[in-house]
Copies of this chain bind each other. A is one copy, B any other.
Amino acid sequence: MNSRPTKIVIIGGGFAGVSAASELGRRTRRDPAIDVHFVSDENYFVFQPMLPEVVSCGIEPSHILNPIRQLCRHVNFHCAQIKSIDLANESVALVGADARKTSTLQYDHLIVCLGLTIDLGRIPGMAEHSLPIKTLGDAFHLRNHVISRLEQADIEPDEQIRRKLLTFVCVGGGFSGVETIAELHDMVRAVLAFYPRAQATGHRTVLVHSRERILGELDEPLAIFAQKKLRQKGIEIILNTRLSEVTADGVVLSNDTEIDAATVVSSVGNAPHPMIAQLDLPQERGRLLADQFLRVKDHTDIWTLGDCAHVPDLQRGGLCPPTAQYAMREGTRCAKNVLATIRNQRLRPFKFGGLGQLAVIGHHSGVAQVMGLRIAGMPAWFLWRSVYLMKLPGLRAKIRVGLDWALDVFFPRDITKLALHRTEALRRAHYRQGECIIKQGEIGDKFYIIESGEVEIIRESEDGTEKRLATRAAGDSFGEVALLRDTTRTATVRCLTSVDVLTFGRSDFTTLVQSYDTLRIDMETRMQAIADQDRQNASQESPRADG
């Protein structure tokens, strides 16, 4: 055995990653020869199936969360983003809360379960004006958005605008779209009594779906039942129709109908994780190809599972569907196979046929397909609640969600519109004399405008000597070079006095420079001057002043 422990690194904190990490933690806690590292950009695990109920104020956002450090014991957890994966050197580069620094994590086995991302860019206006429901933040914002529309409608004198404020459109008739629109409809109907002026106008909920029927994953009779139930509730369902444009005032459909709506929910737009495409690994349409043991094809030390992987379904043929039940079981199987590889034991193929499918279609109604049986209505709803409460990890979470459900029977819905975000887009910072705002060699993450005070720009040479390249004062700016050239900081910026600055993040700054002529021209002039100086310096061997 090596003196150095074998390092297993898991990247991605969804169902698949958490399941693999907790299994590995459990099975290796007494084995000093194996180190397990788990990387996720959030320090909590979200129980996604309950997101629609967060939207409808039925469950508190925090109740469906579990701190990963408490859920996955005996692993080294890193709360960080993956910046890059280096297959040749068997390492991943991480960026934590301090965006100016990367750290490197070596691996012997890498488990890739990065999941999917969302891409709303395909329909004009969709990214700007529709609200996705993929993350907890999304559910939370949608909830606040809906309540804010009710508050606004209640003080709006214009009947037509009130109607727009009370129209809710959801795009996509899969599980999450159907559950969300049903929850949203029931919620608005339940709380409208508290908004007398809005109630007089009434609300409208519309589901737009591109196919012939909703819930394509289910058998036709069940889907038709759900469709009928939703329509009975008063939800309009528009089938065989796509969105062609979304604006702040509503949607334009592919049949040229316009619907005025202040709320457009998007449950479509899943896209492959961009990091996958950058890897020189066998893949198909942005997903890694896994073999029956969940190894990436033709590799023995890289594993993949969950929504970012193409996993063959040995039981039913075809590919494993991107659902939580599959991801969790893939996680445990993968953990066991990684350990089997390290310990020279026999690997076992991943085999699972699925337990069935469940969907809630609003208060006290659901549809289910379990072990060949089809259930609809109240029993399916009850089954959903029992199954998911059981599956929700952590006893505390179970108690809290159970209590939310119980309180829901006795109390009106909680319609607090939580104002938790900071509205400030521009950030300010204060530095005292002698402090360094930028350090040479760091990753550049911000552009700075000096509000007051004076700074010096310094080049440090390798022998530690410093050279002042320039000074900058109020009204001036610095920090653009590393952002526009995508390099690390080429100089240090130090305060000559107390200094106050305004800052822009990297993406905001580059977007602005691309789109806004005034800035673009100014930056082009500056970058040109620096390039000229660079050329001059190349012959004189003296450095440039840029920050």
Shortest C-beta distance, A133 to chain B (Å), equals: 14
| Set of chain B residues within 8 Å of A65, measured between Cβ atoms | 414, 416, 418
Q: Is A519 among interface residues, defined by CB-CB distance under 8 A?
A: yes
Q: Is A518 among interface residues, defined by CB-CB distance under 8 A?
A: yes
| Most B Cβ at <10 Å: residue of A62, A141, A149, A403 | A62
A519 to B477, CA, bound (A): 11
Shortest C-beta distance, A476 to chain B (Å), equals: 6
When each residue 70-108 of chain A gets 1 if its CB lies under 8 Å from chain B and 0 otherwise, what string results?
Answer: 100000011110000000000000101110000100000
B420 touches A141 (CB 8 A): yes
Q: Is A534 among interface residues, defined by CB-CB distance under 8 A?
A: no
Q: How large is the interface on A (under 10, 10 to 19, 20 to 34, 35 or more residues)?
A: 35 or more
| Set of chain B residues within 8 Å of A151, measured between Cβ atoms | 43, 79, 96-97
Q: Is A137 among interface residues, defined by CB-CB distance under 8 A?
A: yes
Q: Is A415 among interface residues, defined by CB-CB distance under 8 A?
A: yes
Shortest C-beta distance, A65 to chain B (Å), equals: 5
Q: What is the oligomeric copy number?
A: 2
B420 touches A61 (CB 8 A): yes
Contact (A414, B62) CB under 8 Å given A140-B420, A425-B508:
yes
Contact (A147, B416) CB under 8 Å given A449-B515, A474-B515:
no
Write the chain B residue with the least CB distance to A415: B67
Contact (A477, B136) CB under 8 Å given A60-B62, A426-B508:
no
B248 touches A429 (CB 8 A): yes
When each residue 430-453 of chain A gets 1 if its CB lies under 8 Å from chain B and 0 otherwise, what string results?
Answer: 111001000000000000011100
With A42-B419, A43-B416, A249-B435 given, can you name 5 additional A-B contacts, CB distance below 8 Å?
A: A67-B415, A247-B431, A425-B425, A474-B515, A502-B515
Q: Could you list 16 examples of A-B contacts with CB < 8 Å?
A: A62-B418, A67-B414, A79-B155, A96-B151, A96-B155, A97-B148, A98-B152, A98-B156, A136-B418, A141-B422, A246-B430, A420-B421, A425-B426, A425-B504, A426-B512, A519-B519
The 10 closest A-B pairs by CB, nearest first: A125-B430, A425-B425, A44-B416, A79-B151, A475-B517, A69-B194, A97-B152, A421-B421, A128-B428, A67-B415
